[in-house]
Structure 1
Amino acid sequence: MQCMELNNLPDLLEQVKPCTNEGKVATYIPALGEANANDIGIAIYDKEHHYISAGNTEVNFTLQSISKVITLALALMDRGTDYVFSKVGMEPTGDPFNSIIKLETSNPSKPLNPMINAGALAVTSMIAGEENEEKMARILHFVRDLAANPKIQYSAEVAISELETAHLNRSLCYYMKQNGIIDGDVEELMDLYTKQCSIQVNCIDLARIGLVFAMDGFDPYTKEQIIPPNVAKICKTFMVTCGMYNASGEFAIRVGIPAKSGVAGGILACVKGQVGIGIYGPALDNKGNSVAGLKLMELLSMQENWSMF
């Protein structure tokens, strides 16, 4: 598929724009509540150096849970699969992303997968580095490489807002520390995790990252293997099974491609060997996914026959 042939992308965007009225911006992290609920944008990159976009593509927003895919890739590269999955499982939960229930009922007491908050916190604790400053620098460098954008930074305002209100995440950390899943200082981990989630991107950056995952970790523009193929495949598998919170099964049926959403309204998606997709629409449904973004993905997948199934 040549991205430039998607001439009806602006029309599809207008078709889904009314869906923004059906959702609400996230407010449990106060800084996220400042987003414009009417925004919707999409960017698509393909491997043949074609690019197309429509809507609010240059609005900066924070990665939030989309960062979980990226730090999982980095942790797997740092620690290897055996170590990572000795601490975090591989199974979907069917529960909300911030649930503590499975930690209490599972034996051994480890997070079921890296896409829920507990699993993501455990993964972030595995990032190599002596201090948080070094770890965060490595995460930022990795995101910049994936997006081919050296200017990417994190929002200190959002990070502080998250850190001050992340009481449930602290509970998850202390529970996991009690059970030997994580080591070290909980507040240090929370500081790193909130900064990771607060990395700012736009749709164009997300699409570029998505293309690298679509090509099994290879950047067809720079000709660099940024992520080992086996690591990229593991990350994409989790995107299919757990990437859209507890709506992942429905998304697999309706859209059928690897994707990861975040509560700031972003969706990172990829079609194997073809394209990377970045979407922004901060009006969310009750499961934390962009309402207009989901509908846009469904229409595109149907039109372009993207489903892997």
Structure 2
Amino acid sequence: MIDSDILCDLILANKHKCKGGEVADYIPGLKNANRESFGVCLIDSNREVHCAGDYEEKFTIQSISKPLVLMLAILDNGEDFVFSKIGMEPTGDAFNSIQKLETSNLRKPFNPMINAGAIAVSSMISGASAEEKFNRVLDFIRKISENPTLDYDEEIYLGEKETGNRNRSMAYFMKNDGVIEGDVEEALDVYFRQCSIRVSAQDLARIGLFLANNGVTSSGERVVSEHTTRIVKSLMVTCGMYDGSGEFAVRVGIPAKSGVGGGILSLVPGRMGIGVYGPALDPKGNSIGGYAILEDLSKILSLSIF
């Protein structure tokens, strides 16, 4: 069992760590975040909600969109097609690294949790235009977060589009190698928009519970198969915290996906979903405060799946 007082205590105990991180500034708009914002929300299998701190504050989802859009791509295309274009292995490199696209014998992105892999996944979403594809992504995330009001941040989207030259270079490289089959700019537009969707820690906790319950919403609707959620959760464990995923698995031991907007989506299979927010990041792009509070929670509640 969890008491909301425990979450308040953990927020107070770890808040000072946020001062040691840096807010992402390479995307216009992200640099305006308050580095001392800090919130957590936990929803257990009984649907009991426990929150503390700035759990209702909105921020852009960024890379946390990657496992979510992956589920939709598998629904649209099937597992075999998706993973004929993208691998399942950790890279050990930064999330925005391009070097292995050319130097590896794999000749495709190592996994869907790095930028190159996620852009390839975005290219697989069904639709007649970039707008239709993104609207399907948005509707899907609204459904699994059980929040029909979710929308995207136009300013962040335009900033992503303006400054995303490294992502653009990856996309055209993959087009040349046959990883991306459709229009490159459409794929990039979907990717930039999906990263700009605004969520709260509570939204992330609801998505985490959806994954913890193997693809079933609180109303009992099955949205994706248990097998697909198992794929996603496995990739979150091995690749979800960028090139810090191995250490996170040792220290915390639960599936998680971080984003440079400061959020971390995490879950304990069959038990709970957890969302945290703290825009002060460590050098690998993970929320310093969010990482710390998940590590403490894992110890206190014996959450590790290992």
- Cα distance, 1:50 vs structure 2: 0.5
Letter in 1 for 2:65: S
The separation in 2 between residues aligned to 1:133 and 1:91, in whole angstroms, is: 31
Partner of 1:189: 187
Letter in 2 for 1:216: N
Partner of 1:114: 112
Which runs of 5 or more structure 2 residues have no equivalent in the other structure?
none
Per-residue CA shift, 1:59-110, capped at 9, x if unaligned? 1001100000100011011111110000000100000001111111122410
Percent identity over the alignment is 53
Contact 2:70 2:112 in 1 (8 A): yes
Partner of 1:98: 96
Is the counterpart of residue 304 in structure 1 residue 298 in structure 2? no
Is the counterpart of residue 228 in structure 1 residue 211 in structure 2? no
Partner of 2:248: 251
Which runs of 5 or more structure 1 residues have no equivalent in the other structure?
none
Partner of 1:216: 214
Is the counterpart of residue 272 in structure 1 residue 256 in structure 2? no
Letter in 2 for 1:120: A
Partner of 2:78: 80
Superposition pairs of residues 115-134 of structure 1, within 5 angstroms: 115-134=113-132
Contact 2:4 2:51 in 1 (8 A): no
Is the counterpart of residue 158 in structure 1 residue 142 in structure 2? no
- Cα distance, 1:292 vs structure 2: 0.7
SS at match of 1:224: coil
- Cα distance, 1:225 vs structure 2: 1.1
SS at match of 1:20: helix
Partner of 2:42: 44
Partner of 2:141: 143
Partner of 1:25: 23
The separation in 2 between residues aligned to 1:49 and 1:86, in whole angstroms, is: 37
TM-score, normalised via structure 1 length: 0.97
Partner of 2:69: 71
Letter in 2 for 1:240: V
Per-residue CA shift, 1:151-188, capped at 9, x if unaligned? 00011110000000000000100110110000233222
Contact 2:65 2:195 in 1 (8 A): yes
1:11 corresponds, among 9, 12, 16, to 9
SS at match of 1:129: coil
Letter in 1 for 2:81: Y
- Cα distance, 1:8 vs structure 2: 1.4
SS at match of 1:211: helix
1:169 corresponds, among 167, 170, 175, to 167
- Cα distance, 1:132 vs structure 2: 1.2
2:58 corresponds, among 57, 60, 63, to 60
**Number of residue equivalences:** 306
Greater shift after overlay, 100-109 or 295-304? 100-109
Contact 2:123 2:184 in 1 (8 A): no
The separation in 2 between residues aligned to 1:298 and 1:157, in whole angstroms, is: 33
The separation in 1 between residues aligned to 2:197 and 2:263, in whole angstroms, is: 12
2:289 corresponds, among 266, 270, 292, to 292
The separation in 1 between residues aligned to 2:268 and 2:106, in whole angstroms, is: 35
- Cα distance, 1:191 vs structure 2: 1.3
SS at match of 1:270: strand
- Cα distance, 1:45 vs structure 2: 0.6
CA root-mean-square deviation? 0.9
The separation in 1 between residues aligned to 2:86 and 2:16, in whole angstroms, is: 39
The separation in 2 between residues aligned to 1:7 and 1:98, in whole angstroms, is: 38
SS at match of 2:179: coil
SS at match of 1:107: coil
The separation in 1 between residues aligned to 2:233 and 2:208, in whole angstroms, is: 10
Greater shift after overlay, 132-141 or 246-255? 132-141
Partner of 2:258: 261
